[in-house]
Structure 1
Amino acid sequence: MATNTRKSVALVTGGGSGIGRATAVRFAELGYSCVVADIDEQSAKETLGMLQTPGIAVQVDVTMATSVEAMVTAAVQRFGRIDCAFNGAGTEGSYAKIADHPEEEFDRVMGVNAKGVWLCLKYEIAQMLQQEPVVSDPARWADKPDVCRFRGVRGSIVNASSQAGLVGHPYNSPYCASKWAVLGITETAAVEYAKDGIRVNAVCPVVTATPMLDRIKAKLPPHLRGQDYTKFFPVGRIAAPEEIAEAVCWLCSDACPFTTGEHLKIAGGM
């Protein structure tokens, strides 16, 4: 079992904007080398330019197995392993009641948000299974009882779900379905690979100040446009992407070695 004497490596999908970009930036601030992946390669390169640590930008379509596999291969060819991954790529879809929703929109949103997470897990986990477990600070755990001792991890993964994966949202059935699916996929992967030293968790943020929110506002039914989102949250504001990024990086860190199969709601008191 190795000790961590080198720079850890983080892979972020959806890294070209919003929560993904903020997460890549935060990983880099914490000293991680970063693989910034996005379907928009130019936006991934823009994020890469914000980082102070080594990194690469990769174009990826998370709905295609060959593209996801190529992304993981590129990461390993450049850095040798993947210690952490944030599967943040997603789409908001369109807005209508179920009876009026186009079937192809359901398939598209599920393809990106649910199948995309599943494919990323498939290839990230396959890579992590080949890696030696790493203990970053053996002395910290040396005097703990055997049942609690931190034995090292092969990798830690966080998936992007949503508060819409916890409760229903009108006009948004494909998105809700996809984000509920992410939680099921997350818990299943966590159970399957816990003994292999791979942790899998999810974050469930609420409305966050990202380009996706701007697109959502433009797509809402007319009677819902212009609503004040801040009134829904006891803290009196919506989330900043950097606040979600902090939670992702914490879940990926050695601060919570016993945490797997969990989802963290980030909802400003809602």
Structure 2
Amino acid sequence: MATIRGKPVALVTGGGSGIGRATAVRFAELGYSCVVADIDEPSAKETLRMLQTPGIAVQVDVTMATSVEAMVTTAVQHFGRIDCAFNCAGVVTKNATIVDTPEDEFDRVMGVNAKGVWLCLKYEIAQMLQQEPVMSDPAKWVDKPDVCRFRGVRGSIVNASSITGLGPAPGINASYCASKAAILGLTQTAAVEYAKEGIRVNAVCPAVTATPMLDRVLEKAPPGTEENLVSKHPVGRFAAPEEVAEAVCWLCSDACPFTTGEHLKIAGGL
């Protein structure tokens, strides 16, 4: 397989639609080569056709270690390294109380959202530890004090949590909230474990975002659900996927080299 080098490389799971797709598109606009990964390979390929830079589409099941490892291996075989990763693959579940939630549904949500992020971190970090630190733009920092000069990183990772991971969310299934809270714990732990290795790990916590996943939820929801959800946002609307994508790309950039172990709310005032 030919290897493409020179451009920074971004890996996006859940890249076949919604926030993942918007982030892959934004990474490409910023000059990154992209690995678009999704369990739905045709959707990943559709995203690939939207990109302005070289990329590949990879089918991945983030609940399976062998699949995640193969995704990372394919990315490195093609591009030589992984500079940034956005772990965005996730699922929602129908609203139900703890008592009324089936055990297999809890396992499914935790498996994709929490275990999936853990597996991605496991194999992405293992690859990044093998990489030489990169200083993307030395001239940008040449006149800055030594204490804040950007010295380069081996990689930067952002995990997709949610505002529901920050506290109780009435009307939202507890398994989803638990999975998103678990992602914050994984983010903070990974950040501490690998800070001295030049690997940054952060998370984004969006509120309700206008994605195909939301559309599917609203189709099955009672009348008036959308209006009720919008009314809870002080800005009076849902987030656009592109707004979350901008935050992810900023967290991955050299604009915030001292930022790790943090979560960024993108919640319209919530």
Q: Check whether TM > 0.5.
A: yes
Q: Which moved more, 1:143-152 or 1:172-181?
A: 143-152
Shift of 1:236: 1.4
- Deviation sequence 1:188-219 (CA, Å, 0-9, x none): 00000001000000000011110111122234
1:176 and 1:88 mapped to 2: Cα distance? 15
- Deviation sequence 1:125-152 (CA, Å, 0-9, x none): 0000000000012233234333322111
Contact conserved, 1:7 with 1:33, CA < 8 A, in 2?
yes
Residue in structure 1 matched with residue 96 of structure 2 by the alignment: 96
Letter in 1 for 2:46: E
How many corresponding residue pairs? 265
Shift of 1:269: 1.1
Shift of 1:229: 2.5
Residue in structure 2 matched with residue 198 of structure 1 by the alignment: 199
For 1:233, what is the secondary structure of its paired residue?
coil
For 2:35, what is the secondary structure of its paired residue?
strand
Residue in structure 2 matched with residue 34 of structure 1 by the alignment: 34
Residue in structure 2 matched with residue 122 of structure 1 by the alignment: 122
- TM-score normalised by the chain length of structure 1: 0.95
Alignment RMSD = 1.4
Gapped regions of structure 1 (runs ≥ 5): none
1:32 and 1:245 mapped to 2: Cα distance? 14
2:96 and 2:215 mapped to 1: Cα distance? 17
The residue correspondences of 1:172-191 to structure 2 (distance < 5 A) are: 172-191=173-192
Residue in structure 2 matched with residue 108 of structure 1 by the alignment: 108
For 1:202, what is the secondary structure of its paired residue?
strand
For 1:242, what is the secondary structure of its paired residue?
helix
Query: Structure 1 residue 210 and structure 2 residue 182: aligned?
Result: no
1:263 and 1:256 mapped to 2: Cα distance? 13
- Deviation sequence 1:87-122 (CA, Å, 0-9, x none): 000000222111111011110000000000000000
Q: Which moved more, 1:144-153 or 1:45-54?
A: 144-153
Gapped regions of structure 2 (runs ≥ 5): none
Shift of 1:226: 4.7
Letter in 2 for 1:265: K
Letter in 2 for 1:8: P
Contact conserved, 1:158 with 1:203, CA < 8 A, in 2?
yes
Residue in structure 1 matched with residue 58 of structure 2 by the alignment: 58
2:167 and 2:219 mapped to 1: Cα distance? 22
For 1:135, what is the secondary structure of its paired residue?
coil
For 1:200, what is the secondary structure of its paired residue?
strand
2:111 and 2:224 mapped to 1: Cα distance? 27
Q: Which moved more, 1:201-210 or 1:163-172?
A: 163-172
Residue in structure 2 matched with residue 48 of structure 1 by the alignment: 48
1:150 and 1:72 mapped to 2: Cα distance? 26
Query: Structure 1 residue 236 and structure 2 residue 227: aligned?
Result: no
Contact conserved, 1:41 with 1:57, CA < 8 A, in 2?
yes
> Are residues 155 and 242 of structure 1, via their aligned partners in 2, closer, same or farther at CA, if it must alter by over 3 Å?
same
